[in-house]
Structure 1
Amino acid sequence: MALTQINFDGIVGPSHNYAGLSLGNVAATSHKGNMSYPRAAALQGLAKMRHNLQLGLKQGFFVPLARPDCSFLAAMGLGNNAETLVDRSGAERALVAAAWSASAMWTANAATVSPAPDTADRRCHLTVANLITMPHRAVEWRDTLRQLELAFGNRDHFAVHAPIPPSFGDEGAANHMRMATYHASAGIEIFVYGRQGGRFPARQHEQASRAVARLHRLDPARTLFVEQQPAAIEAGAFHNDVVAVANGDVLFCHEQAFVQAEELYAAIRRLLPGAHIITVPAASISLADAVASYLFNAQLVTLPAGGMALIVPDEAWQSPNVRRWLDDMLATNGPIRQVLPVDVRQSMANGGGPACLRLRVECDPVHVDARFLLDESKADQMEAVIARTWPEQIAPDQIGTQALHNSVVSARRELLTALDLDELA
């Protein structure tokens, strides 16, 4: 098996806007009502994908979901008449905005993934996330499941599961980490959950994580469950990937990421001798700075020539405290050898950094539907469609209008046709 890691990034949809729908996501709520720039957002995301290709990494993508979600509007008794939608206010206006959200671009929330070396049947398992905590995301799973079943349709090599029952919130790979000596070797799977009762909702339920582990037929001896530090959730780390990221034999995390952190680190070292655990002290980078910069919402990747690189948002690289700590880390000549900043400002303003935009799947690329794998030619196709059809900007009062509806529906259809994915229309 030629197992490799593929990052599947979400293409930012043409309805990308700042409605501030995500309680606990500091960036999203603080930019509520701002003008958004969908074309720039999608091109920034595509540039990040090209950046990964140029590093020699395998890169895939998922297409935007259909927006507005007319079935959701109808189910909520709102219909889809533009003249009635634009006049809504308060809670009804928020429901209209939910139907238009482009949040599926953050594919770290699409599913939880366990590669074949970790599972009893030696298939790669994916469980689509139910995302029940936030209404604008809870509507995503059916269309996400449909796309995953298409991309990973080879049943000899993949098992794609429907979501955990909605009694238990599951937000996918953003609350899951995997460590292994090599991508193709048996790994440790780490599930991070939260406890309810704080100012912001804890989005990952412990029982959802345990159910996913059972569905994926993981070895209980190599499966760890750890509680996210409540202080991190209170600071705006609504997902674990805002305070921790893992790759290979490296865990890179904030000092205040986990409850019973030392027990977790001990278990990792016992199961994976030689593991590198890099913790950033709160005295050097506060939780507030970690959340503002999205230092840990980075892509930690293994480079083809060896060593690891940390792909961080520009905001992290430009933060004096963070930059100072990163420079000191690089000077130690540890396992992370490079820090590479990327511009994903439009996504960042809505609360998603480089890690939010990707779902990691470790598998043999030959078994993936090739239409979802990126190369430079396909990137050129995407760029042309986005530059020609994605709205340049969206003001809050445009959400719900017929003109914008027609524009975003037409833009998505053109992209699907260019990618030969019309069955997802």
Structure 2
Amino acid sequence: MIREINFDGLVGPSHNYAGLSLGNLASARNAGEVSRPRAAALQGIDKMRVNIALGLVQGILVPPPRPAHRWLAALGTDIASADPVIAANAMSASTMWAANAATVSPAPDTGDGKCHLTVANLKSMAHRSHEWPDTLAQLQLAFANPAFQVHSPVPPAFGDEGAANHMRLAPSHGEPGIEVFIYGVTGGPYPARQHVEASRAIARLHGLDPARTIFAAQSEEAIAAGAFHNDVVAVANGPVLFAHEKAFADRDALVAELAGRLAEFELVEVPDSEVPLADAIRSYLFNAQLVTPPSGEMTLVAPTECRDTPSVKGWIDRHLASNGAIRRIEFVDVRQSMANGGGPACLRLRVQCDPDKVDPRFLVDEARLDRIAAVISSCWPDEVAIGDIQRASLVKTVETARLSLLDTLDLGGLASY
């Protein structure tokens, strides 16, 4: 039976605020601040517990090695002697945002009836460009069953940022759907990270039916306002598209196309007059997880910043009172991630598949989360200042913490990745 699994990226012990992500306003705003890796990771665990309590299937992805020694070696240096900017790129914990790990097309959509995953090359940002080999190794292990096909990244000439710029709408997870690839053209002062050439290549690699595949441009205004990925201004679940009215370059054409291809399509649109684009981006209203638990009540798992932003909270209250498509909201505290530019949706990769076909080491329940939380509480640093990231003592702590986690999860085979 096909179900949706949210694979959350565990926040790594090197979590820091180096401000490396151009166009990510939260990342820039908090650059240089002291981070709290232990609190960040435990906040992520608590979010996963909310999903489990809703009756959802929950998975995990583990942090890669940090520092990124192979990348540093390719640059002819090491963490101790590297330029501080290079060192910060090598110590980034950005794999926590698993929405950028890959693009996923479930079996009902693909030509060969397999679930396809294409690892993102993330070539637009130096600190993320070296993630893909570790992500590929991990996904090949988690999805080794013949029911899956895991692809290497598309060539780096074409930027691909994974599921953060991809949406799927369908009557249910197990039925054929419409896959929507959102690409950027320009974004004013910031780069458009998703290239249409990469999106088209992934659609071909996954064997998608052109009649059930849409390519649409992201709004340049949204990119310039800080929506560096489309999932900052839009999210889909089942037949519902939940979006800000300024999310897309040609909103009317996309809505008409979706309505024409999916009979059950429903648009939940937030007007700019009610929630200004800046408030939507600052609160990450659309970077919430929009999910359908077994109860059938479509639920928004939103950051507490949505509750604390008056325009956003007002819209949520009015929508819930109207008995609209979203029937329930769960607020979660992921402030450490939010401060670095990633909300609840950034922290997870959605895979619609049969859970029995997934390597069980990558699936979690409450007891398994308890064991992970114990490792985090005992091994993750409490604080990391930017001036500390090249210190030998912190490097050893980070490396030892990851190995302890892998040992707890019986994933020692990933130690060298």
Looking at structure 1, the residues matched to 52 and 206 of structure 2 have their Cα atoms a distance apart, in angstroms, of 30
- The answer to whether the aligner puts 1:120 opposite 2:119 as a matched pair is no
SS at 1:303 equivalent: coil
Match of 1:204 in 2: 194
Looking at structure 2, the residues matched to 162 and 371 of structure 1 have their Cα atoms a distance apart, in angstroms, of 22
- Please report how far the alpha carbon of residue 260 of structure 1 lies from its aligned counterpart in structure 2 after TM superposition: 1.3
- The answer to whether the aligner puts 1:239 opposite 2:207 as a matched pair is no
- Please report how far the alpha carbon of residue 409 of structure 1 lies from its aligned counterpart in structure 2 after TM superposition: 0.2
SS at 1:336 equivalent: coil
Looking at structure 2, the residues matched to 42 and 79 of structure 1 have their Cα atoms a distance apart, in angstroms, of 26
Looking at structure 2, the residues matched to 160 and 79 of structure 1 have their Cα atoms a distance apart, in angstroms, of 31
- The answer to whether the aligner puts 1:319 opposite 2:318 as a matched pair is no
Match of 1:31 in 2: 30
SS at 1:173 equivalent: helix
Which of 328, 337, 346 does residue 327 from structure 2 map onto?
A: 337
Contact 2:187 2:220 in 1 (8 A): no
Gaps of 5+ in 1: 86-91
User: Residue deviations 1:253-275, cap 9 Å, x none?
Assistant: 00000011111111111111131
Looking at structure 2, the residues matched to 197 and 23 of structure 1 have their Cα atoms a distance apart, in angstroms, of 11
Large movers: runs of 4+ above 4 Å: none
Which of 379, 386, 390 does residue 400 from structure 1 map onto?
A: 390
- Please report how far the alpha carbon of residue 317 of structure 1 lies from its aligned counterpart in structure 2 after TM superposition: 1.3
Which of 231, 237, 241 does residue 251 from structure 1 map onto?
A: 241
Looking at structure 2, the residues matched to 57 and 72 of structure 1 have their Cα atoms a distance apart, in angstroms, of 37
Looking at structure 2, the residues matched to 257 and 168 of structure 1 have their Cα atoms a distance apart, in angstroms, of 22
Q: How does the TM-score come out when normalised to structure 2?
A: 0.99
Which of 149, 157, 179 does residue 159 from structure 1 map onto?
A: 149
Match of 1:56 in 2: 55
Describe the shift of the 1:324–1:197 C-alpha distance in structure 2 as closer, same or farther (beyond 3 A).
closer
Looking at structure 2, the residues matched to 323 and 305 of structure 1 have their Cα atoms a distance apart, in angstroms, of 24
Looking at structure 1, the residues matched to 239 and 357 of structure 2 have their Cα atoms a distance apart, in angstroms, of 26
Which of 83, 87, 97 does residue 96 from structure 1 map onto?
A: 87
Looking at structure 2, the residues matched to 364 and 149 of structure 1 have their Cα atoms a distance apart, in angstroms, of 16
- The answer to whether the aligner puts 1:278 opposite 2:277 as a matched pair is no
- Please report how far the alpha carbon of residue 77 of structure 1 lies from its aligned counterpart in structure 2 after TM superposition: 2.4
Looking at structure 2, the residues matched to 395 and 403 of structure 1 have their Cα atoms a distance apart, in angstroms, of 13
Percentage of pairs with the same residue: 59
- The answer to whether the aligner puts 1:73 opposite 2:72 as a matched pair is yes
User: Residue deviations 1:132-175, cap 9 Å, x none?
Assistant: 000000000000000000000012x0000000000000000000
Looking at structure 1, the residues matched to 264 and 225 of structure 2 have their Cα atoms a distance apart, in angstroms, of 32
Looking at structure 1, the residues matched to 372 and 9 of structure 2 have their Cα atoms a distance apart, in angstroms, of 12
- Please report how far the alpha carbon of residue 197 of structure 1 lies from its aligned counterpart in structure 2 after TM superposition: 6.0
Q: How does the TM-score come out when normalised to structure 1?
A: 0.97
Which has the higher mean CA deviation after the structures are superposed, 301-310 or 120-129? 301-310
User: Residue deviations 1:337-379, cap 9 Å, x none?
Assistant: 0111100000000000000000000000000000000111110
Match of 1:89 in 2: none
Looking at structure 1, the residues matched to 129 and 275 of structure 2 have their Cα atoms a distance apart, in angstroms, of 33
SS at 2:393 equivalent: helix
SS at 2:78 equivalent: coil
Looking at structure 1, the residues matched to 239 and 354 of structure 2 have their Cα atoms a distance apart, in angstroms, of 20
